[in-house]
Amino acid sequence: MSRRHYDLPPFTTLAAFEAAARHMSFKNAAQELSVTPGAVSHQIKALEEELGRALFLRQHRGVQLTEDGKALFETLGASFQTISQQLSRIRHRGTNEAVTVGSTTAVAALWLSPTVIDFWREHPAINVHQVTQDRPFEHVRDFDFFICYGPAANPTVHQTPVYRDELVPVASPVLAAQMQGIDLDALAKQRLIHLDAASPTWTRWSEWFAGLGYEGEIAQGARVNSYSIALQIAQKGAGIALGWRRLVTPMLQSGKLVGIEPHTLPAPHRFYLCGQNDEKLTPNALALKNWILKNIADQ
């Protein structure tokens, strides 16, 4: 029987494996592909039989990739991204390609949008589309690059470090004036505004206190799922938010928020630009990326 030209398994089996490996879940992969979990399992089993190697370890509470599975996932992820990028270039060939950037709503409002406005002033012919979501970005299929705090979950994504922020408690001017010089034990008893972030890497109050060596109890305070809302509550004097100094610089400069000193902590992770390698970016996307990196370095 003749083999396929590139001696590859059917694309459906490769796509099912890549989705399952990316989600580490047959169920979530099935939802993405609009098929049943059984169909995903069948495709992966057929691929394993053709290769003669196990790609997943089936466990009671989920699945794990084998070493062969990890190697295949990294290759497929990079290949699919290259194909997606090339298809996008073909679709938009001959047009002034817009640049699409992803970020969380807070990063977009507090940092990315002002940065893009400054970029437009120097490059008025380049259109930039911003897409915001507060759940982690998994791939760059719909973006030229996206901004994430901490390493991206997808190991096939190229990651360029941008900067490391500093974490400091912030509050309204009146409340901050009452709190200046407060020790960690007393600060932990104040009305803290806790952010229930979708991203597991986003630094929380408990991690901030632990990073400063505090091991006591922390007040429950208020809980929100939006960083922008946390800052609004803090501005109204109704609590203390954990401030990312670079992100909230405009609010600090305007006096809407004031840092509560002296307790500060370097953020555990950096912010990254995650996307294709530079040689795979469009000229417009590369221009924006280089502008962002230069802008950060000059500050």
pLDDT at 4: 64
List of domains in the chain: 11-90 (1.10.10.10), 96-163+270-298 (3.40.190.10), 166-266 (3.40.190.10)
pLDDT at 80: 84
Nearest to 166 by CA among 134, 215, 212: 212
pLDDT at 1: 37
Rounded mean pLDDT for each run of 10 residues along the chain, 299 residues in total: 68 92 90 91 93 89 89 88 72 67 88 91 90 77 84 79 93 94 93 87 91 91 89 94 92 94 91 86 90 81
Which residues, including other chains, have CB under 8 Å from residue 228's CB and lie 6 or more apart? 105, 106, 109, 110
pLDDT at 2: 44
Count of positions (residues) in the chain: 299
Q: How far apart are CA 236 and CA 89, in angstroms?
A: 47
Contact 104, 135 (CB under 8 A): no
Q: How far apart are CA 73 and CA 253, in angstroms?
A: 46
Q: How far apart are CA 14 and CA 11, in angstroms?
A: 5
Contact 80, 86 (CB under 8 A): no
Give whole-number Cα distances, 90 to 73, 83, 86, 142, in Å.
26, 11, 6, 15
